[in-house]
Chain A
């Protein structure tokens, strides 16, 4: 039992990281019906922005929680700007083209970021400084949580809660929902659809960057290709929850994290990556619209 609980704790922590990344996929999809395949690479960039930020703040030599928070926020801000640039330079020009063009563009941006990362950061892994020294906290006999895991959980929950408040209760959040429902009707309200799309990309990128920094806190080796697998899995998580649906992305991410950790613990670490795609196949067969998705017949 204690093993199971321990796995659950690990799974939920890991899952909250997937959830943060999945939110970006699902929000962009909700607004543009575009799968932003470069999103996993924003997570990678987030980790690297965090690395640079911790150098500026000398956070490695003299770590403190305040500096860790500064590193997190700086990385989120820089990545939001990168997200905005990507949208303006790569996606906006193809917005009126067929959807396939946008998808291919997204794959192109992803390759550009990965290989650009190799060029700029170098192909060899970099070490993310330990901003917060690890401590283990016993919850129950045989069940423990590290302070880093707790930080991941708390930060994720705070961010997701903030996002929810923003989307449901602010003027811009409601405009976002309007745009996601119908671009034409939204512009008839006086909403600048372009501006809302930009904001969506910025928020999604900031959340992915936060995930990047949070993961780097725990497993400090970061490299330019680190975003591929988590990006794919978070995409599966978004589909699992029902793409376009914000609570769905959170639930999908958690399910994904728990499934992965359980498979690693009870079956074999070999299947760790496979389970994500097993889940994808199952959900596509059983409930293609996702857990929270509504079945929508595509209008022709």
Chain B
């Protein structure tokens, strides 16, 4: 049984058929990546898994439990969290408050503090800015905060939506190194990326999504070598 599996998911955004029978799975301890062009449905898929968008048909299973109809705020408590596209940090709150909100469903105060310090170790730039309003951070720092905040709920699976979007290339490498580290600590990662090159370099397996359908799935290394993928997503 996979830790997370999506089975035949159909999702509509108004009249738009955004996901057409999508299936995928992630095994415990994996980094799985989902690549595809803008508008392919990657973000919709993550939002559906997190319960923000409701599915027309199909289901989402998490650790043996059907979470298709579970509301978003309960899914977090089950151990599946997300760092959303566009980061969505709470701009008018401090870095610390953002992290605290990430642990909103937890009651173990001293453990929360430990986890917060662990996040500061993983992302030292956030430590320097802990009292600063998160709206004043750079794009890369906000991305780090969004990831750290998603980890504060102690998820067993984390969904990362475009962590490289609009971020300086140097920081992108840092962030990907952090993702590998997070995964090494036992968190399963489902990574959505337009930066297919980076994503395939750290993932074990990958899926290619085109206009709402999974068109390819394979081991990441094989996808990276696939001529079609190279032509479409890796710039030849």
Which positions in A face B, CB cutoff 8 Å? 171, 174-175, 177-178, 181-182, 184-193
Contact = CB atoms under 8 A, between A and B. Distances in A.
Contacts of B153: 189-190
Contact of A182 (B74, B77, B90): B90
B93 to A, nearest CB: 6
B91 interface: yes
B50 A174 contact: no
A278 B209 CA distance: 57
B91 A181 contact: yes
Contacts of A189: 73, 76, 101-102, 104-105, 149, 153
B97 interface: yes
Interface in B64-100: 71-74, 76-77, 81-82, 84, 88-93, 97, 100
Nearest to B152: A189
B105 A190 contact: yes
Nearest to B77: A190
B72 A171 contact: no
Contacts of A185: 84, 88-90
B52 interface: yes
B73 A177 contact: no
Contacts of B89: 185
Interface residues of B, number: 27
B104 A187 contact: no
Q: Which of B90, B100, B150 has the most CB of A within 10 A?
A: B90
A5 B153 CA distance: 55
Interface in B138-169: 149-150, 153
B132 to A, nearest CB: 16
Given A174-B93, A177-B93, A188-B52, A182 B101 contact: no
5 contacts: A171-B104, A178-B90, A185-B84, A188-B88, A191-B101
A60 B21 CA distance: 70
Contacts of B92: 177, 181
A187 B73 CA distance: 5
Given A181-B90, A187-B52, A188-B76, A175 B84 contact: no
B97 A174 contact: yes
A184 B91 contact: no
B77 A174 contact: no
A178 B101 contact: yes
Contacts of B91: 181
A175 B88 CA distance: 14
B90 A191 contact: no
A233 to B, nearest CB: 28
A244 B184 CA distance: 43
A174 B103 CA distance: 12
Contacts of A177: 90, 92-93
A174 B89 CA distance: 13
A188 B92 CA distance: 17
Contact of A188 (B82, B93, B97, B100): B82
A179 to B, nearest CB: 10
Nearest to B51: A187
Interface in B29-61: 50-52
A193 B72 CA distance: 10
Nearest to A181: B90
A185 B47 CA distance: 11
Q: Which of B82, B102, B104 has the most CB of A within 10 A?
A: B104
Contacts of A193: 73
